[in-house]
Amino acid sequence: MKQVKDIIKGLREDNDLKQKDVAQVLNINQQYYSKYETGEYEIPTRHIITLSKFYKVSCDYILGLIDFKSPLGGESYQYETELIKQENIMKKFNALDHKQKVKVAEYIELICSQKVIDRQN
């Protein structure tokens, strides 16, 4: 897992910014920001949120919890989030025994048929 200090430095460099540019966004001086990138100071939550909005990436990306740099709130980010949810559901489904899988499939069919009935009314 990447460290926050490496991620924020990478984001800054990817955007061709100097430390003083990012420091201005955070309303701190360049020397203080530099200590975030070296890991000497831990970056506070409020600055993570600000950088997330500034770079248009999720806080999870900055914290190193996810590997993809999708636009914050954008279509790509929502799509990736949905894929992760679907993967988690499939993992849970695959962990079920055969009898449980049959019950889940029957329940899904029931819900789908109810939607058809609802649309007809």
Structure confidence by residue, pLDDT tens digits, 2-19: 899 999 999 999 999 999
Three-class SS of residue 107? helix
Three-class SS of residue 58? coil
Q: What is the pLDDT of residue 87?
A: 78
Burial class (CB in 10 A: 0-12, 13-18, 19+), 80: middle
Q: What is the pLDDT of residue 90?
A: 86
Structure confidence by residue, pLDDT tens digits, 66-98: 887 765 555 555 656 666 677 778 889 899 999
